[in-house]
Amino acid sequence: MPNRTAQPTEQQNTGLRFFVPGMPKTAGSKRVFINPKTGRPIVTDDNKKGKDWRASVQLFASQSMGQRPILDEPLQIAFKFILPRPKSHFGKKGVRPSASYYPITKPDVLKLARAAEDALTGIVWRDDSLIVDEHLFKRYSDEGKAGCWISVYRKP
C-alpha cells in the first residue's frame, strides 16, 4: 500500500505539480446501463483494479490543492507515468543492453491519462474539456518506484 501522505508540492501562481505514488492503472472501457427503477443511465468502468489508483490520484490532488479554488479556465497539463522495469530487463550487471529504453507495451498512455483526468475532474478542474494542451509521457524507473507526476497550469 503506497504512503498516503502528500509528497512535496510545487505551487506557483499559475501551476500545480505533485506526485502520486503507486502503479498507474487505465480507465478501461465505459459501459452504460439504464437503471430500471429510475430510467437514468448508469456509467460503469470495466477496470475494477483502476478504482484504487483513481482514489490515490484524488487523495494527492486534494492535498495538493489545499484551499485553492477549482480551476475553470483553459489548462495545460502533463502526466509523466513512471512504470517499474520488468525483471527480465535486468541481468547480473544491472539493466541489460538489449532492454527497451521506453515502455512500449501495454498499458497505453492515453488510457492511463484518461483515468487520471477522470480522477481530477471536480477536484482540480471543473471538467476535463478545459484541457487545451496535454503532454503525456510513459517512462521506466530503474529504481522500481512507480507513480505519476502531474502538472497543471493555467493557459495564458
Average the pLDDT over 3-28 and give the result: 70
The predicted model gives 122-150 an average pLDDT of 93
Average pLDDT over residues 35-54: 76
Task: Quote the DSSP letter at residue 105.
Answer: S
Q: Hey, is 6 helix, strand or coil?
A: coil
Q: Crossing angle for the helix pair 50-65 and 109-120, nearest 10 degrees? A: 50
The pLDDT value given to residue 64: 96
Q: Is the dihedral of CA 56, 48, 81, 23 positive or negative?
A: positive
- Is the preceding peptide bond at 107 cis, omega within 30 degrees of 0? yes
What's the pLDDT band for 14 if we cut at 50, 70, 90?
low
* pTM, two decimal places: 0.79
Q: Does the pLDDT of residue 21 top 80, yes or no?
A: yes
Which domains, ranges and CATH numbers included, belong to the chain? 10-154 (3.30.1330.70)
- CB contact at 8 A, 109 and 137: yes
Q: Per-residue pLDDT tens for 46-98?
A: 566 778 999 999 999 999 999 999 999 999 999 999 999 888 888 898 888 88
Could you give phi then psi for residue 59, rounded to 5 degrees?
-60, -50
Place of cell 502526466: 79
Taking only the tens place, the pLDDT of each residue in 87-128 is 888 889 888 888 888 999 999 999 999 999 999 999 999 999
**How open is the CA angle 123-82-112, to the nearest 5 degrees?**
50
